[in-house]
Structure 1
Amino acid sequence: MRTTPVAGLDLTALTMGSAPLPTPVARAVDLLDEGWEAGIRALDAADGTGGAESAAGRWLEERQPEGVVVLSGLGTVVGQGRGADLSPARIDGHVAAAVRRLGRVDLGWLRGADAETPLEDTLQALAGAIEGGRLRAWGAGDVDAWALEGLLAEADRTALPRPAFVRVRLNLLERGALQDLAPLAAGEGVVLLAGAPLGGGRLTGRHVAAEESAAEAIRFGAPRDTPIDPALDALVALRDLARDLELSLEGLALAWLLATDPVASTIATPRAKADWDPVHEALERPLDAETVERLEHLLPQP
């Protein structure tokens, strides 16, 4: 599997996400085993700082996998105009908690932006964690090009470590990050990680079939409280293309991300054994340039 260097680590083209509750921990551990067998050598614990037992923590403790890159979110989303709490105390506490629960954290990513804490203070806390050997590098979650420019500028101004990666929402229906953020990141040596590869469930055959049925029912006067997915026509075209390629829609969505150069790694979080099937499809049936071009002609403008 293709890898990309990040802070001296080899990040595989796919990163496993640890299935959240209510998935039982034992089942989530088995799902991580299947990802490991598929050659995935990166694990995003998402929240390695909580109090409940985590599948990621148990898997790391029991399997002792060699060469796996461990990621965890840092900071707390608080809302109410502030966004996230990225204060030094919060960052220090979360790094310590993640190391305690997971054994170690290689890459920590910030949960949004903090409207109250000076950015320099957050960067100082991250620098201390890196200097103390508790982190290898840090990244930002859900940023746009403007926000990444601000992070880079402040890191340079203060001579503190720059972000090594950005973790953003990116899929066939949400491609805005490829317009401005991806070129900036590439030019600055910042790696791009794609989250939500199936668009929160919209890029699944089940969703498309349900929306088709609902649209047909509405034509015959059936009531519906929510609107039909505005991208339904594109989704149907993508599903039909996937069938032509002998792929599922989910497999096509993942294969597109694997074929998209700016994306260093795509985070896949199966919640059931069958959810690994599209991952295997994408790995076994890579898309060529002609198919990618054909696919992208079917998509709505970002």
Structure 2
Amino acid sequence: MLMGTSTDETTATTMLDRYLDAGGTFLDTANCYAWWHERGSQGGESEQVLGRWFARTGRRDEVFLATKGTAMVKDPDQVLVDGRPDWERAYQSFDGAGADNLRRSVDDSLRRLQTDHIDLYYVHVDDLSTPLEETLEALAGIVQAGKVRYIGWSNVRTWRLERIRQLCAQHGWPAPVAVQQQHSYLRRKAGLRHASIVDDEQLHYLQTHDDLMLVAYSPILKGIYDDAEKRADHPMMGAYAGPDAEARIATLGEIADEVGATGNQVVLAWLMHQTSPCIVPLIGPRTLEQFDTALPAVDIKLTDEQLTRLDAAGA
């Protein structure tokens, strides 16, 4: 997300090289990354960095490439207040999932990424104002044209996901294979109204539909698991703070000590150990240090007993 803006291109491409050299294959970006970094941006900086890297290295065929559309704001400068995004205003001005916008957005992403196809293309933010039939028929045409291999949905409620799947089955359109939501070790507070964070109902839905992969964004909640002081006043904790979070963090600390790792690393490892649903946790490092700190999570092997304790922890 940050490549080409707050992460300079030299650092970004060094990360990409190290990631692939270590065996990484999955890259996730979006056409709107990251318009909020500075005035005058129209988004697309991350895709452009990836495109130049593909062209220079010839490594496009080594990765499964995901990008997204429908959440680009029409006039970014109008929703920046004192240099920071006003997300409420931004949500009201997303370009949406209309057929013409989807076709245009895919072509623009292909150009920036310097590739002839996208492996996984997400509706970035579920668009309630556009008929699902219009969106799904357009996506089906894009897949049929060979521009996209698979589709996904992000920031979506479970009832909408079921309706999407019903329409795809009814019309023979390609159905989503991936759902990208905010998901971590901490559990969201009961009663929270939030379309983007996995709740119990959505988790159960994904567990009973094994043709859907859960792609978890913000899995370490901006790194709060390693820093009690950071947790105390971090905005990410607003959706999680409480006795349940405290109990799970305590157990997480015990397991981290046992395996000789950080809390953030254990959370990533715990997510990668999940099989129902199967989960791909995304990391979004801003610096090489953050990348190098996250990578050891791949090699952490949690025992069945440790996984049971982590799962059972809570108030």
Name the TM-score class by shorter chain.
0.7 to 0.9
Deviations 1:56-87, CA, capped at 9 Å, x for gaps: 22222222213311100111256566876100
* Contact kept? 2:3, 2:49, Cα under 8 Å: yes
* Percentage of pairs with the same residue: 24
- Larger RCO, structures 1/2 (Cα 8 Å, 6+ apart): 1
Q: Deviations over 1:144-175 (max 9, x none)?
A: 32221111112223332111111111110147
Work out whether residues 255 and 306 of structure 2, in 8 Å CA contact, stay in contact via their aligned partners in 1.
no
Partner in structure 2 of residue 247 of structure 1: 261
Give, in whole Å, the separation in 2 of the partners of 1:48 and 1:129: 20
Inter-CA distance 146–125: structure 2 relative to 1 (3 Å threshold): same
| 1:187 equivalenced with 2:200 (yes/no) | no
| Rounded Cα–Cα distance in structure 2 between residues aligned with 1:196 and 1:229 | 16
- Aligned CA-pair RMSD: 2.8
* AA in 2 matched with 1:44: D
Q: Is the 8 A contact 1:142 1:168 kept in 2?
A: yes
The number of aligned residues is 270
* Partner SS for 1:177: coil
> 2:20 maps to what in 1?
36
Q: Which runs of 5+ in 2 are unaligned?
A: 34-42, 74-89, 189-196
- State the shift of 1:178 in Å: 6.9
**Structure 2 partner of 1:64:** 58
TM-score (norm 1): 0.79
Q: Which amino acid aligns with 1:69?
A: F
**Structure 2 residue aligned with 1:73:** 68
Residues 290 and 51 (structure 1), Cα distance of their counterparts in 2 relative to 1, 3 Å cut: closer
Greater fraction strand? 1
Unaligned runs of 5+ in 1: 1-16, 215-225
1:120 deviation in Å? 0.5
Any conservation in 1 of the 2:69–2:124 contact (CA below 8 Å)?
yes
TM-score, normalised to structure 2, is: 0.76
For residue 256 of structure 1, what is the amino acid of its counterpart? W
1:131-150 equivalences under 5 Å are 131-150=144-163
Residue among 264, 268, 291 paired with 1:276? 291
Structure-2 change in CA distance of 1:84 and 1:286 (3 Å): farther
- The residue number in structure 2 matching 1:109 is 122
| 1:1-302 equivalences in 2 (<5 Å) | 19=3, 21-47=5-31, 50-52=43-45, 54-65=48-59, 66-76=61-71, 85-102=96-113, 103=115, 104-174=117-187, 177=198, 179-185=200-206, 186-187=208-209, 189-203=211-225, 205=226, 207-211=227-231, 229-230=241-242, 231-232=245-246, 234-261=248-275, 262-299=277-314
Richer in helix (by share): 2
